[in-house]
Amino acid sequence: MTKTSLNTRAKAAETYYDELKQFVRKRTGSNAIAEEVVPETWIRANALTQALPDNPKAWLYRMAGGLGSQVIPGI
């Protein structure tokens, strides 16, 4: 996937949505938490005004991982 095809934070979050959900599910052990964290990741990504990072996938994973850690501290 080229950078031009992920020209917005919303598009990047939608593209990796299922992968992010699986990532959070594995980290937290909870599908319910993943169902909560990944949409919140999408919302927060879209609320930011900064330019799309060079590696949007890594940026979204870091954001989702951080949100998952807020729900279950220590993961």
pLDDT at 73 over 80: no
**Which pLDDT belongs to residue 46?**
85
Tokens 């950078």 correspond to 3
pLDDT, mean of residues 51-74:
87
pLDDT digits (tens, 9 = 90+) for 33-59: 999 999 999 998 888 878 888 899 999
Question: Is the pLDDT score of 74 beyond 70?
Answer: no
Domain boundaries, the chain: 3-71
Does residue 64 or residue 75 have the better pLDDT? 64
- Tell me the C-alpha distance between 8 and 72, whole Å: 29
